C-alpha cells in the first residue's frame, strides 16, 4: 500500500559509472517530480513530468535524464557519475501541478 | 527568484510545550504553501497545505497560518511530544503564470522534544 516508492534505497558506485533510480506511484497522480537533497539538507527540484510530458527541467547537467514510460513511473538515469552527484534523491507526485505533493522515501547515492 | 527562510534553524524543548516555527518568503505572489516533516533517513511527510486564499489550516495538534502580504507562515505545534522530533520544512509554490509544480524549500527547523 506504499504510495510513492523508490528503488534502490541506497546506491554506492564508482565515479564514471552509469546508474538508474526507479520511482513508482500508485496514487493515480498525473504529475511526478525528482528532487535532490544535498549534504546541507537543501531540497531543490530537478524535473517534473505531467502525463509523461516534461514540464520542469532545472539547470541540471544533461548527464541526468528522466524517463517516464507511463504516468505511474518516473525513472532517473545518470551517466558518468561524479563525486558531486552524491546526495539523496527524492521522487514525488501530485494529482495536478499545483496540488499537494507526496514524497517517496529517497535514494541515497554515494559516488566514490 | 523566490527565497524561503526558516527560523529557528534548530529548537530543543521539553515535552508539553507549545511551539511556533516560522517561515518567510520573498515573493508574496504564491499559489500555496506546504509544510512537511522529515524524519532522519526518511522521506518527507506532508503535514498541511494552505492555499493562497486561506489564512490557516489545522490538523490535530498542528495549525499553520499564512499571511501572504507579509510573506510569512507559522506552524504552531500544541502540547509537543517526543514523537514530534523531526525536521520541519516549509515550501512555497509560485503563483499563476509560473510553473505550478515548482516548490521552493526552506532549509528547515530541526526540532527535538525531550521527555
pLDDT score of A1 more than 70: no
**Closest by Cβ to A105, choosing from B42, B49, B89:** B42
Which residues of B are less than 8 Å from A96 in CB distance?
A: 100
CB contact under 8 A, A96 and B31: no
Interface contacts A/B by beta carbons within 8 Å = 57
Q: What percent of chain B has pLDDT over 90?
A: 81
So what's the pLDDT on residue B42?
85
CB contact under 8 A, A100 and B46: yes
Shortest alpha-carbon distance between residue A2 and chain B (Å): 12
So what's the pLDDT on residue B97?
60
What is the arithmetic mean of pLDDT over B104-108?
Answer: 95
So what's the pLDDT on residue A51?
82
Which tens digits make up the pLDDT trace of A56-67? 878 788 899 999
What confidence category does residue A12 fall into, taking pLDDT thresholds of 50, 70 and 90?
Answer: very high
Question: Nearest-CA residue of chain A relative to B46?
Answer: A102
Which tens digits make up the pLDDT trace of A13-23? 999 999 999 99
So what's the pLDDT on residue B102?
83
Which residues of A are less than 8 Å from B53 in CB distance?
A: none
Shortest alpha-carbon distance between residue A18 and chain B (Å): 24
Which tens digits make up the pLDDT trace of B1-18? 789 999 999 999 999 999
pLDDT score of B96 more than 70: no
CA distances (Å), B99 to each of A58, A69, A95, in order? 11, 22, 15
Chosen for mutation from B42, B47, B101, B105 (greatest number of chain A CBs closer than 10 Å) is: B101
Q: Can you tell me the distance from the alpha carbon of B11 to that of B83, in angstroms, rounded to the nearest whole number?
A: 14
Asked if B9 and B106 touch (Cβ cutoff 8 Å), the reply is: no
When comparing pLDDT for A59 and A91, which is higher?
A: A91
Which tens digits make up the pLDDT trace of B27-71? 888 999 999 999 988 889 999 999 999 999 999 999 999 999 999
Instruction: Provide φ and ψ at B46, rounded to 5°.
Output: -70, 130
Residues B48-80 as b or e (16 or more Cβ within 10 Å = b):
bbbebeeeebeeeebbbbbebeebbbbbebeeb
Between positions 12 and 31 of B, the ones with CB within 8 A of A are 31
pLDDT score of B101 more than 80: no
Question: Nearest-CA residue of chain B relative to A34?
Answer: B102
**Closest by Cβ to B46, choosing from A96, A102, A105:** A102
Per-chain mean pLDDT for chain A: 92
Strand order through the sheet with B19-25: B4-7, B19-25, B72-77, B62-67, B56-59
Amino acid at each position: 500500500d506504499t504510495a510513492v516508492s523508490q528503488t534502490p534505497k541506497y546506491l554506492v558506485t564508482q565515479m564514471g559509472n552509469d546508474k538508474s533510480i526507479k520511482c513508482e506511484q500508485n496514487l493515480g497522480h498525473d504529475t511526478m517530480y525528482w528532487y535532490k537533497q544535498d549534504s546541507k539538507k537543501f531540497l531543490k527540484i530537478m524535473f517534473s513530468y505531467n502525463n509523461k510530458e516534461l514540464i520542469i527541467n532545472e539547470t541540471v547537467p544533461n548527464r541526468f535524464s528522466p524517463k517516464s514510460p507511463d504516468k505511474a513511473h518516473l525513472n532517473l538515469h545518470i551517466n558518468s557519475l561524479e563525486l558531486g552527484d552524491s546526495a539523496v534523491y527524492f521522487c514525488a507526485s501530485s494529482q495536478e501541478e499545483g496540488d499537494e505533493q507526496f514524497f517517496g522515501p529517497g535514494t541515497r547515492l554515494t559516488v566514490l | 527568484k523566490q527565497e524561503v527562510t526558516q527560523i529557528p534553524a534548530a529548537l530543543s524543548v521539553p515535552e508539553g510545550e507549545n511551539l511556533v516555527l516560522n517561515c518567510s518568503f520573498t515573493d508574496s505572489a504564491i499559489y500555496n504553501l506546504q509544510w512537511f516533516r522529515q524524519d532522519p533517513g526518511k522521506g518527507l511527510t506532508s503535514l498541511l497545505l494552505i492555499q493562497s486564499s486561506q489564512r490557516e489550516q489545522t490538523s490535530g495538534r498542528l495549525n499553520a497560518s499564512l499571511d501572504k502580504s507579509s510573506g510569512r507562515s507559522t506552524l504552531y505545534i500544541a502540547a509537543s511530544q517526543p514523537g514530534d522530533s523531526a525536521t520541519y520544512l516549509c515550501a512555497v509554490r509560485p503563483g499563476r503564470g509560473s510553473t505550478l509544480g515548482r516548490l521552493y524549500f526552506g532549509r528547515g527547523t530541526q526540532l527535538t522534544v525531550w521527555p
